Amino acid sequence: MKMMSWFVKGEDETESGNNRCSSRKGQIRSMEEEIIINNNNNDEVALAIEEEEKEGICVTWKDVWVTVPTAKQGSNTILQALTGYAKPGQLLAIMGPSGSGKSTLLDALAGRLSTKAKQTGDILINGRKQALAYGTSAYLTQDDAILTTLTVGEAVYYSAQLQLPDSMSKSEKKERAEFTIREMGLQDAIHTRIKGISGGQKRRVSICIEILTRPSLLFLDEPTSDLDSAASYYVMSRIASLNDKDGIQRTIVASIHQPSTEVFQLFHNLCLLSSGQAVYFGPTAAANEFFASNGFPCPTLQNPSDHFVKTINKDFEQEDPEPGLSIGLITEEAIHILVKSFKSSAINQQVQTDVVKIGKRNSSAMEMKNHAHFFKQCIILTRRSSVNMYRDAGYYWLRLLIYGGLAISLGTIFYKIGSNSESIQAKASLLVFVVTFLIFITIGGFPSFVEDMKVFERERLNGHYGVTAYIIGHTCSAIPYLLLMSVIPGALVYYLTGLQKGGQHFLYFTCVLFVSVMLVESLMMIVASMVPNFLMGIITGSGILGVMMLNGGFYRLPGDLPKFFWRYPLYYISIHKYAYQGLFKNEFEGLTFSNNKVGAASIMSGKEMLRNSWQIEVDHSKWVDLSILLGMVVLYRILFLVILKIIEKVKPIIAAFK
Ligand SMILES: Nc1ncnc2c1ncn2[C@@H]1O[C@H](COP(=O)(O)OP(=O)(O)OP(=O)(O)O)[C@@H](O)[C@H]1O
Ligand SMILES: [Mg+2]
């Protein structure tokens, strides 16, 4: 653009020269011709640059403010009047002290601010307000959320299978995964489980996963945290050099804490934040000059980025000003001077003009890249989740061990309880205990599930796959474990205690156990989607199950439950009610018992006993109870899907309305 203005000026000068001296007409004509030729050449250059930019993604933001409501002050301003841009082929670094708003700015640019944050100002992608499309953009969050039971190679390869389109062959996907792993210097750790690798290696695995699709727009939040200076340099330079390798003019926006001098030199533009205000935005090369001109020259032999951040970090302000600050100012004043000076600087004027100019570009909307198709995603997710469940002892194995131990304990305590009238109470206690315990311990798998959800949340936000594929994958992978957990302990209890004989009875018994565990898992999924952490999830889940257990019709007979709330509706939605009733019917129906009641027949059927002693609804078959439990499983899973869908769809709508 500078070239263009030079030419305009050149033309004016030529015209005036033309008027001034007619004798030099011939000379001027030749100059004009030269200018036209040059002009054409430079137009071509400018056009080529614009074409290149058109291929990539430009992000501009103008006067962006972000506030969050607080209990005390009403609202807290996190970002203040930020303006800037990120262009294809360039690397923009966002720097500033901790808490200065770097992650918030990245979240705002990527359209991922939390719903409670209020954002004003324009953020344009290629000149228009639009959501980031899958595959063309990627976001590396500050926290790593990866399944730690997988090896580095597995994590990246599964992700490649999920993210890359079906048009790529299996071997091409594998090759892409391996190439990316090598690119991030992880070839030696390829067979190591993520649980056993260092923080820096984990960070690089996250980067690998995000750059697999070769996105044109990359948001990286602290990509070099936990890395030593050499690794930081290699990682950043490889990210920066991706453009040369795949020919994509990539736009990279990265927040970074402590870049070494070498890393700092990789940045084209620098956005320096302090308490959400722009202290500097512009070419990295001009930042030193800007600081020096305002009285804060970078001392010789000091890394400029360290100097900038040190000058504007007021978190550790003491009474005595830092000796490093040349004119003995306290940091607050230094920030004030820099912010004010930047606002009126020529660099800022240029940025404002550039933002308007880039924002006016009339590019097409971002196109979404293809992923693997839905069924393929379900299969890959099932496979990945199965590996994770198999390797994570806390997911199912530990529970299976406890169930096994408890089944043996129950089997020995209630060994061959028989089927006479005296055994009724013991059998009822046994059945109630089996279901209640099985259901309660299901909560034990919750922490592992929450970790799973974190990975899902990150991958969903980055558009790797959808909610439905995740739920199908998780359900399919969990079924074999749930079957194991109901069949093995179930068989131990059933045959040691001598419950009613017959394959059909045993089948029903294990079916109830299986469906009950699955139901509680579904319930805990809903809880996980609504509470912020696993401790609160465990407390909430235990509370809900405690109430359901109390209300299931055993500890207090259904007829004795207070009608309001406890009987209607709680008794009817209690998981325990249907599990108890089904198991009781399975055990007692078909048997006969002696009746001690005066004036009644001496023998009573199991059905009568159930109705009289436990107020069981014997009008419908035990299979109806099982079907209701199964229906609840489906309902709860659908509810989980709906909640996640609502979160996914409604969040952006709420954000857009703010
Ligand atoms: N949802 C929120 N509610 C309240 N305050 C928030 C919220 N998100 C961020 N903040 C506050 O905004 C400020 C900026 O946070 P942000 O995470 O963007 O900082 P940062 O520069 O990324 O810090 P770090 O370098 O430590 O990652 C912090 O003071 C933080 O407490
Ligand atoms: Mg941050």
Q: How far is CA 155 from CA 175, 205, 609, in A?
A: 14, 8, 57
**What DSSP designation does 134 have?**
B
Is position 480 within any domain? yes
Q: Which atom of ligand 1 is nearest to the CA of 104?
A: 18
Residue whose Cα lies nearest atom 9 of ligand 1: it is 104
Report which residue type is found at 217: L
Residue with tokens 């074999």: 480
List phi, psi (to 5°) of 651.
-55, -55
Question: Which 3 state secondary structure label does DSSP give 444?
Answer: helix
Mutate to test the pocket of ligand 1, among 64, 73, 104 (most ligand atoms within 8 A of CB): 104
CA nearest to 325, candidates 299, 301, 351: 299
Q: In this structure, what token pair is assigned to residue 592? A: 């006969």
* Res 565 pLDDT > 90: yes
Q: Which atom of ligand 1 is nearest to the CA of 106?
A: 18
**Ligand 2 centroid to residue 219 C-alpha, Å:** 12
Question: Which 3 state secondary structure label does DSSP give 598?
Answer: coil
Is position 550 within any domain? yes
Return the H-helix or E-strand segment holding 234. helix 229-246
Residue whose Cα lies nearest atom 19 of ligand 1: it is 99
The answer for residues whose C-beta is within 8 angstroms of residue 508's C-beta and 6 or more apart is 582, 586, 622, 623, 626
Mean pLDDT for 169-196 is 95
**Confidence (pLDDT) at 50:** 52
Q: What is the full DSSP assignment across 525-570?
A: HHHHHHSSSHHHHHHHHHHHHHHHHHTSSSSS-GGGS-TEETTEEH
Total domain count for the chain?
Answer: 1
Q: How far apart are CA 43 and CA 49, in angstroms?
A: 10
Q: Judge whether 258 and 305 are in contact, CB under 8 Å.
A: yes
Q: How far apart are CA 78 and CA 100, in angstroms?
A: 8
Residue whose Cα lies nearest atom 29 of ligand 1: it is 99
Residue whose Cα lies nearest atom 25 of ligand 1: it is 98
* Res 522 pLDDT > 50: yes
**Ligand 1 centroid to residue 337 C-alpha, Å:** 24
Q: How far apart are CA 176 and CA 161, in angstroms?
A: 10
CA 500 to chain centre: 49
Q: How far apart are CA 599 and CA 95, in angstroms?
A: 89
* Res 35 pLDDT > 80: no
From the number of C-beta atoms within 10 Å of its C-beta (0-12, 13-18, 19+), residue 48 rates as exposed
Q: How confident is the model at residue 525 (pLDDT cuts 50, 70, 90)?
A: very high
**Confidence (pLDDT) at 420:** 82
Q: How confident is the model at residue 4 (pLDDT cuts 50, 70, 90)?
A: very low
Mean pLDDT for 419-423 is 83
**Ligand 1 centroid to residue 313 C-alpha, Å:** 15
Question: 426-442 as b/e, with b when 16 or more CB fall inside 10 Å?
Answer: ebbebbbebbbbbbebb
Is position 441 within any domain? yes
Residue with tokens 């469940």: 389
Q: How far apart are CA 219 and CA 100, in angstroms?
A: 17
Q: How far apart are CA 261 and CA 265, in angstroms?
A: 6
CA nearest to 184, candidates 217, 162, 206, 164: 206
Q: Judge whether 251 and 56 are in contact, CB under 8 Å.
A: yes
* Res 3 pLDDT > 80: no
- Write out the residue range of the structural domain in which residue 636 sits: 391-656
**What DSSP designation does 77 have?**
E
Mutate to test the pocket of ligand 1, among 102, 225, 274 (most ligand atoms within 8 A of CB): 102
**Ligand 1 centroid to residue 98 C-alpha, Å:** 8
The answer for residues whose C-beta is within 8 angstroms of residue 573's C-beta and 6 or more apart is 548
* Res 424 pLDDT > 60: yes
User: For 19-28, 77-86, 115-124, 129-138, which range has the lowest pLDDT when averaged over its residues?
Assistant: 19-28
For 494-520, what is each residue's pLDDT tens digit? Answer: 999 999 999 999 999 999 999 999 999
**Ligand 2 centroid to residue 309 C-alpha, Å:** 15
The answer for residues whose C-beta is within 8 angstroms of residue 196's C-beta and 6 or more apart is none
Mutate to test the pocket of ligand 1, among 75, 78, 256 (most ligand atoms within 8 A of CB): 78
**Confidence (pLDDT) at 319:** 53
**Confidence (pLDDT) at 655:** 62
For 241-269, what is each residue's pLDDT tens digit? Answer: 887 777 788 899 999 988 999 999 999 99
Mean pLDDT for 402-420 is 93
Is position 197 within any domain? no
Residue whose Cα lies nearest atom 8 of ligand 1: it is 104
Q: Judge whether 134 and 77 are in contact, CB under 8 Å.
A: no
The answer for residues whose C-beta is within 8 angstroms of residue 380's C-beta and 6 or more apart is 158, 161, 162, 372, 473
**Ligand 1 centroid to residue 140 C-alpha, Å:** 16
Q: How confident is the model at residue 48 (pLDDT cuts 50, 70, 90)?
A: very low
CA 595 to chain centre: 62
Ligand nearest to the CA of 98: 1
**Ligand 1 centroid to residue 126 C-alpha, Å:** 27
Q: Greatest CA separation found in the chain?
A: 139
Q: Which atom of ligand 1 is nearest to the CA of 116?
A: 1
CA nearest to 540, candidates 555, 551, 550, 528: 528
Q: How far apart are CA 561 and CA 576, in angstroms?
A: 15
The angle at the Cα of 526, spanning 523 to 532, to the nearest 5 degrees, equals 125
188: how many CB neighbours lie within 10 A of its CB?
10
**Confidence (pLDDT) at 429:** 94
* Res 593 pLDDT > 90: no
pTM: 0.84
Q: Judge whether 377 and 465 are in contact, CB under 8 Å.
A: yes
Mean pLDDT for 32-42 is 44
Beta partners for 252?
Answer: 91, 218
Residues with CB under 6 A from ligand 1: 68, 76, 78, 96, 98-104, 114, 117, 142
Looking at per-residue confidence, does 504 or 325 come out higher?
Answer: 504
Q: How far apart are CA 194 and CA 192, in angstroms?
A: 6
What percent helix, strand, coil does the chain show, rounded to 5? 60, 10, 30
Q: How far apart are CA 315 and CA 224, in angstroms?
A: 22
**Ligand 2 centroid to residue 372 C-alpha, Å:** 32
CA 114 to chain centre: 12
Is position 126 within any domain? no
Is position 509 within any domain? yes
Is position 534 within any domain? yes
**Ligand 2 centroid to residue 141 C-alpha, Å:** 9
Average pLDDT, the chain: 86
Q: Which atom of ligand 1 is nearest to the CA of 100?
A: 21
Q: How confident is the model at residue 19 (pLDDT cuts 50, 70, 90)?
A: very low
* Res 238 pLDDT > 50: yes
Give the CA-trace dihedral at 280, 282, 285, 287, to 10 degrees. Answer: -10
Is position 501 within any domain? yes
CA nearest to 452, candidates 140, 147, 209: 147
* Res 294 pLDDT > 60: yes
Q: How far apart are CA 430 and CA 417, in angstroms?
A: 10
